[in-house]
């Protein structure tokens, strides 16, 4: 008799992550996760005391996936900042369910923008922006946060079907935010 395959905690998190991507995080429950894995609900409830813990773990995995997606730059755009912004927007278009889970759910609360916009998460982009803008660390953070707010606004509209994706418009909007922030920095009026 063949051995029964063991369902691991990582397999459960992966399955919940896939459910969030395919059907939306509201569909993560013991039944859907076990169906995805082809097992009973017992392993899910063995590894996680609450289904909420499965959702939290899936959110963490989704956040890591998102950061890797956005920061995996290929040089297809004129500036690294523009490419990063466009990848953020394209993520919202391609992964609507996951984007909404990551940013429009109660799992992303209490974290200030400064916690996410760090050199640890965005080191190479911060370095390039520092050189291109001839800016210090505080100015780089301010420039980036201004661009991020515009980028996230567009991405949110797209993820919620409130806007139709238009690459040329998005490039122009991000470029305006970038050059506007640089101008304000030089004038001494940047937040």
pLDDT of 144: 85
For the chain, domain boundaries: 1-71, 75-191
Instruction: Dihedral sign for Cα 120, 144, 66, 48, please.
Output: positive
* Closest to 121 in 3D by CA, of 90, 92, 144, 138: 144
**Tell me, what's the pLDDT at 1?**
43
Per the CB < 8 A criterion, the answer to whether 43 and 34 are in contact is yes
Question: Which of 101, 21, 9 minimizes the C-alpha distance to 59?
Answer: 101
The pTM for the full model equals 0.87
The answer to whether 89 touches 158, Cβ cutoff 8 Å, is: yes
Q: Which residue has the tokens 């420039």?
A: 143
Q: How far apart are CA 92 and CA 24, in angstroms?
A: 13
Q: CATH number of the domain at 1-71, out of 3.40.640.10, 1.10.357.10, 3.40.1080.10, 1.10.150.20?
A: 1.10.357.10
What are the mean pLDDT values of the chain's consecutive 10-residue runs (191 residues total)? 73 98 96 96 94 96 92 84 93 97 80 65 72 83 88 97 96 95 84 69
Could you report how far apart the first and last alpha carbons of the chain are, in Å?
68
Q: What is the Cα–Cα distance from 102 to 25, expressed in whole angstroms? A: 9
């Amino acid at each position: 008799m063949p051995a029964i395959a063991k369902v691991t905690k990582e397999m459960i998190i992966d399955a919940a992550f896939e459910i969030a991507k395919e059907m939306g995080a509201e569909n993560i429950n013991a039944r859907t996760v076990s169906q995805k894995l082809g097992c009973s609900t017992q392993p899910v409830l063995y590894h996680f005391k609450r289904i909420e813990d499965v959702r939290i773990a899936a959110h963490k995995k989704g956040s890591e996936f998102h950061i890797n997606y956005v920061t995996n730059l290929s040089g297809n755009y004129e500036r690294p900042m523009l490419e990063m912004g466009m990848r953020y927007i394209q993520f919202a278009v391609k992964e609507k369910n996951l984007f909404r889970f990551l940013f429009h759910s109660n799992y992303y609360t209490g974290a200030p923008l400064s916690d996410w916009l760090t050199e640890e998460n965005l080191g190479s982009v911060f370095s390039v922006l520092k050189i291109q803008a001839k800016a210090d660390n505080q100015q780089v953070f301010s420039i980036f946060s201004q661009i991020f707010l515009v980028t996230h606004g567009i991405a949110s509209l797209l993820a919620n079907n409130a806007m139709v994706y238009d690459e040329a418009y998005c490039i122009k909007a991000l470029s305006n935010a970038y050059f506007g922030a640089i101008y304000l920095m030089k004038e001494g009026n940047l937040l």
